[in-house]
Amino acid sequence: MRLSVEWSWFVALSCLLCMGGEVQCACSDEDIKREGVEYTLTRQLEKGSMLVYNCPEGFYPFPALTRMCQANGSWRPAPRRFSPQKCKPVECPDPTVLENGNVSPPQEKYFVGNETMYECYSGYTMRGSNQRVCLKNGKWSGSTPVCSRDSENACPDPGIPAGASRTGNIFGIDDKVKYTCNGNLFLVGSSERVCKEGGQWTGQEPACYYRHTYDTIQEVSESFGSAIRNSLTTLESTDDIQGEKRIRLSKNGTLNIYIAVDVSESIEAIYFLDAKKAVIALIEKISSFSVTPNYHIVFFSSEIFPVVDILDMLDGKVQLSSVKKELKDFKISDQITAGTDLNLIFSNFLERMAIIEQQVGKEAFKEHRHALIIFTDGAYNMGGSPAPTVAQIKNKVYMNYTGETSTREDYLDIYIFGIGAEVFDDDLQPLTTTKANEKHYFRMKGLDRLQDTFDEMIDEDAVKGLCGLHKDYDRVIDKDDIERKKKMYPWLAFIYIEGGRKCLGSLVNSKMILTAAHCFRFGDKPDDVKVEIDDRMDRKVKKVKTFILHPNYNIKGKVDEGVDEFYDYDVALIQLEKDVKISISVRPICIPCTQETSEALQMVGKSTCKAQEQLLLKTQLEELNFMTRTDKWAAEKNVRAKLGDNRGDCIRHALEAKGIKTKNPEVAVTDNFLCTGGLTPQRDHIACTGDSGGAVFKHHHQRTVQIGVVSWGTKNKCEGGGVVESDDASRDFHINLFRVVPFLKQYLGNDTQNDFEPLQFVD
Ligand SMILES: *[C@@H]1O[C@H](CO)[C@@H](O)[C@H](O)[C@H]1NC(C)=O
Ligand SMILES: *[C@@H]1O[C@H](CO)[C@@H](O)[C@H](O)[C@H]1NC(C)=O
Ligand SMILES: *[C@@H]1O[C@H](CO)[C@@H](O)[C@H](O)[C@H]1NC(C)=O
Ligand SMILES: *[C@@H]1O[C@H](CO)[C@@H](O)[C@H](O)[C@H]1NC(C)=O
Ligand SMILES: *[C@@H]1O[C@H](CO)[C@@H](O)[C@H](O)[C@H]1NC(C)=O
C-alpha cells in the first residue's frame, strides 16, 4: 500500500487515540517514508508491529525485508542512513556448480529472465534440464542438471543444486552426501542423503533459497498435494485379486488431521478471513477422498483459539459436515495478542494424542495416523523451542522406536508452511518430518494465496463430471487476476477464424464448443478455425476437427420479408480434434434439458426440460450474464432478459436496426430469441462485436447454466469489446437454448459415437 498523505494523517490520528488507550504508538515512520519504498504495517506504529517492504515482482527489498517496532520506539533493524532501502532485482543461485559439464553463458550473476544452457563433457550423460530460465521468485525453471557416467554405482549421481556445495562423491549403498548452500543462501530440503538398497536416496533434493525466495502456488499445490495424497490414500480401500475373485480390502485405521494457524502476525480482519478460507479450502479438498479424517483445528498467537476439537469428533459430537460451518462462524472475540507460542500448539496436539490413546486403548491407537499442518512465520517469542515437544510427538507415534523409523514413519506427517515476509526457517524446518521425495516444508509470502493453492491441489477426478462448477470469490477480485477469473468462467473459449474474425464460445463437453452460426462464412474450413482454451497442455490454441451449423440457420432466409440478415437458429457446434484437459480452470458449462443440469440445479425426482426452464427463466425480468473480451482476458456483463409482458416493448427496437424494413418485429425476432438491453429497470450492458457466440448464462450457487448464445444487436456501440453500457434504444438478441434442444441433443446426446461421453437429455 502506498501511504498517501491522508493515510499518514490517519496513522497519526490513530496514534493519538491509542496513546490514550491501552496500546502505545512506539515508533515513528518519518525516516522510513523518506526512503520511498512501499511498505505495509501489521499493527500500525504500535510496539510489535512489523513493517513489511513491498517490491514489484522480480525485485526484493534490500537491505531489510522487514523492520520490527520495538518497545523503546526504535526499529529493528534500524534504517541506515548510508545504505538506504531499495528494491533490487532478484537473482538466481549460481548454476555453475555443475560438475563434468559446461554452463553457458558464464556470468558472475544471473538475473530474472536470464537463460542458461548445460552441456556434459564427452563420456558423460545428462539428466535434468539442459536449459533453464531464472524465474521471478529466484529459482531456476526445470530440474537440476546432472552430468554422470554410467557406472556401477548403486545410486544415481544426486547432482548439485544451484548455489550449493556437496561433499561425498561415492554413491554406493550406505554412502552419504552432504550439502551446504553458499553465500547468503540457506538450504531447504535434506542437507544429508543416504544411498539405500534399490538405488534410492533418502530424503528430498535440497534447494538453496534466498531469504526472499518463496514457493509459487503451483509448486506448493503440486508437492503438498502429492505428499498429502499419500497420507490420504494409504487408508483408502483397494481392490485385490485373490485367486479368481476381486475383493475390496478396507484398511483398518483412522486419520487424524491437526491444523494450526498462527494469527499473531496481523490484527487485520482480512488476514483472519484468509486463514479461515484457506483451511476451508483444504478441508473441501480432503473431503473429495473416500477417507473421513477427524479434525482438530486451532488458531493461535500466545494463546489458543480452538475451533474444532478432535475429541468432539471422535465422540461424534461434531460431524464433518459441521466443521466447515464451525470455521465460517468462528470469531476471535478479544484482540489478538502480539506474542507467538509455537510450543503451545505442539503441546496441545500431543495432549490430544495422549487422550485419544487413553480412550481407544494402546492397540487401537497403533492404527491411528496423524497429519499435523501448521501455518506460521515461526517467530515464536514465548513458550520456548517446540523441538522437545515435537520429539515427544514422534516418540508417541513411532512407539519409542529410536532406530530407523521406516516401520512407523507412515503414521506421522508434520507439514509446516512458513508464511510471511520474514520466516524463521532454521527454527521451523527441523520440526517437519522427512520422507523420501516428499516435501513437508513450504514457504509463502502471504496466507491470501493459500486458498488458491488448496483449490489447485489434489486430484480433480472426483468432480470431473460436474458441469458448470466454478469457484466464487466473495472478496472483490482484482480485475487482472486472470488465474482466478478462469476458475469463475472455466468454460469460456475464444474463437478465431481466418480473416480476423473473433467470437466467443462455451465448452459443453471435453471436445465440443457451442457458439453462434454467424461466426462462420460459406467456404470456411475446419483448418480456418482456431479455438483457444488454456488447459496447460502442449498448446492452448486447439485444432478443430469439424464444425456444425444449425440446419435451419439461413441468414438470407427473410430478405423477401424485409430482413436483410436473419439470425434465427444462430447456433453452431465446434468439435476439437483432441479432448481438452478438465481442471479447476477448464470445465464444461451446463446446458439446458440435460440430466447434468437437473443435478446442478438440485432438482429432485424426475425433472423435465420444462421444469428447468421454469426454474431458470421464472420472472419477467430475469438477470443473466454474458462475457466480453478485454485487453487482459474477459469480463462479465450483466443484463436482464425481458420476458412475458416486457418482451413486446423490448423487441420493438429491432425495427430501428440497419437492414430491417419490415414493420413487424416478430419477423426478425422470432420466439427463439431472448431480448436484453435498454435502461429500464436498470441500465443493461450491451454486447460488442467480438462477444458473439458467447454463453448467456446464469449462476446457480456454485454451478453455471447456459441459457442462450449471444447473436445480434440493434446498434454497434463497441467494435473493440469491453464492458459497455446500453443506451435507451439499443437491444441485443440471444438464441434461447431451450428452443434449439433437438439440435443440441442430436449431436451432444449422440450415443453411437466414441469421440466423447454423450450428455443425458431429459424429456
Ligand atoms: C531499544 O532496545 C533495543 C533492545 O530491546 C536496543 O538494542 C536498542 O539499542 C534500544 N534503542 C534505543 C534507542 O534505546
Ligand atoms: C540478464 O538479465 C539482466 C537483467 O534483466 C539483463 O540486463 C542482462 O542483459 C541479462 N543477460 C543476458 C545474458 O541475457
Ligand atoms: C482389521 O481389523 C480386523 C479386526 O479388528 C482384523 O481381523 C483384520 O485383520 C484387520 N485388517 C487389517 C488389514 O489390518
Ligand atoms: C515408551 O517409553 C515410555 C517411557 O520410557 C513408556 O512409558 C511407554 O510405555 C513406552 N511406549 C511404548 C509403546 O513402548
Ligand atoms: C452419431 O455418431 C455416429 C458416429 O460418429 C454418426 O454416424 C451418426 O450420424 C451420429 N448421429 C447423429 C444424429 O448425428
CB of 55 closer than 8 Å to CB of 64: no
Residue 472 placed within a domain: no
Look up 518 and say whether it is catalytic. Answer: yes
pLDDT attached to residue 9: 43
In single-letter form, the type of residue at position 278 comes to A
Count structural domains, the chain.
4
CB of 413 closer than 8 Å to CB of 56: no
Contacts of 284 (CB under 8 A, 6+ apart): 324, 454
Is residue 265 very low, low, confident or very high in pLDDT (cuts 50, 70, 90)? low
Residue 186 placed within a domain: yes
pLDDT attached to residue 511: 94
Strand partners, 515: 572
How distant, in Å, are the alpha carbons of 129, 695, 709, 719 from that of 699?
Answer: 44, 12, 15, 27
Residue ranges around ligand 5 (CB below 6 Å): 746-747, 750, 752-753
Q: Please state, in angstroms and rounded to a whole number, the distance separating the CA atoms of residues 256 and 294.
A: 5
Boundaries of domain holding 104: 91-209
Least confident residue range of 145-149, 512-516, 528-532, 719-723: 719-723
Identify which of 514, 536, 563, 526 has the alpha carbon closest to the alpha carbon of residue 693: 514
Q: Which ligand is nearest to the CA of 394?
A: 4
Q: Which ligand is nearest to the CA of 110?
A: 2
CB of 161 closer than 8 Å to CB of 206: yes
Q: Give the residue-averaged pLDDT of 72-90.
A: 89
Beta-sheet strand order (sheet of 101-104) = 101-104, 115-120, 131-133
Q: Tell me how far the alpha carbon of residue 111 lies from the centroid of ligand 2, in angstroms.
A: 6
Q: Could you tell me if 670 and 689 lie in one domain?
A: yes
pLDDT attached to residue 20: 47
Q: Please state, in angstroms and rounded to a whole number, the distance separating the CA atoms of residues 661 and 681.
A: 29
Which has more confidence, 7 or 649? 649
Q: Please state, in angstroms and rounded to a whole number, the distance separating the CA atoms of residues 264 and 261.
A: 9
Q: Please state, in angstroms and rounded to a whole number, the distance separating the CA atoms of residues 436 and 26.
A: 48
Q: Could you tell me if 71 and 109 lie in one domain?
A: no
Of 692, 711, 726, 730, catalytic: 692
Q: Could you tell me if 363 and 407 lie in one domain?
A: yes
Could you say which DSSP state residue 569 is in? T
Q: Could you tell me if 362 and 399 lie in one domain?
A: yes
In single-letter form, the type of residue at position 551 comes to P
Q: Could you tell me if 169 and 76 lie in one domain?
A: no
Q: Tell me how far the alpha carbon of residue 186 lies from the centroid of ligand 4, in angstroms.
A: 37
Q: Could you tell me if 99 and 77 lie in one domain?
A: no
Domain boundary among 87, 110, 133: 87
Look up 734 and say whether it is catalytic. Answer: no
Which atom, in ligand 5's list, is nearest to the CA of 747? 14
Q: Could you tell me if 82 and 34 lie in one domain?
A: yes
Which atom, in ligand 4's list, is nearest to the CA of 395? 1
Cell 436484453 locates to: 676
Of 518, 653, 685, 734, catalytic: 518
Find the DSSP H helices in 134-183: none
Q: Please state, in angstroms and rounded to a whole number, the distance separating the CA atoms of residues 364 and 380.
A: 35
Q: Could you tell me if 539 and 527 lie in one domain?
A: yes
pLDDT attached to residue 591: 96
Residue 477 placed within a domain: no
Domain boundary among 87, 110, 130: 87
What would the pLDDT profile of 352-404 be if each residue is shown by its tens digit? 999 999 999 998 998 899 999 999 888 787 888 999 999 999 999 988 766 56
Residue 243 placed within a domain: yes
pLDDT value at 335 more than 90: no
Strand partners, 621: 642
Q: Could you tell me if 267 and 190 lie in one domain?
A: no
Least confident residue range of 205-214, 242-251, 750-759: 242-251
Burial state string for 219-244 with b = 16 or more CB within 10 A and e = fewer than 16: bbbbbbbebbbebbeebeeeeeeeee
Q: Could you tell me if 546 and 668 lie in one domain?
A: yes
Residue nearest to atom 10 of ligand 5 (CA): 750
Output 117-126 pairs: Cβ under 8 A, ≥24 positions apart: 118/145, 118/147, 120/147, 121/147, 123/149, 124/100, 124/148, 124/149, 125/149, 125/150, 126/101
Give 717's Cβ-side CA count (13 Å radius): 19
* 354 ligand 4 Cβ < 6 A: no
pLDDT value at 259 more than 90: yes
* 105 ligand 2 Cβ < 6 A: yes
Cell 509446516 locates to: 416
What's the chain's average pLDDT? 86
With pLDDT > 90 as the criterion, what percentage of the chain qualifies?
A: 55
Domain boundary among 87, 114, 149: 87
How distant, in Å, are the alpha carbons of 254, 291, 364, 408 from that of 250?
Answer: 12, 11, 16, 20
CATH of the domain at 650: 2.40.10.120
What SS3 class is residue 541?
A: strand
Q: Could you tell me if 414 and 510 lie in one domain?
A: no
Look up 701 and say whether it is catalytic. Answer: no
Q: Which ligand is nearest to the CA of 235?
A: 3
CA angle 582, 583, 584 (to 5 degrees): 140
Q: Please state, in angstroms and rounded to a whole number, the distance separating the CA atoms of residues 616 and 622.
A: 8
In single-letter form, the type of residue at position 574 comes to I
What SS3 class is residue 725?
A: strand
pTM of the predicted model, to two decimals?
A: 0.65
Residue nearest to atom 14 of ligand 2 (CA): 114
Q: Please state, in angstroms and rounded to a whole number, the distance separating the CA atoms of residues 563 and 661.
A: 6
Identify which of 545, 535, 552, 522 has the alpha carbon closest to the alpha carbon of residue 494: 535
* 117 ligand 2 Cβ < 6 A: no
Q: Please state, in angstroms and rounded to a whole number, the distance separating the CA atoms of residues 393 and 376.
A: 19
What would the pLDDT profile of 115-172 be if each residue is shown by its tens digit? 999 999 999 999 999 999 999 999 999 899 999 986 778 899 999 999 999 999 999 9
Q: Please state, in angstroms and rounded to a whole number, the distance separating the CA atoms of residues 147 and 100.
A: 6
Cβ neighbours, 10 Å, residue 168:
15
Of 341, 570, 691, 732, catalytic: 570
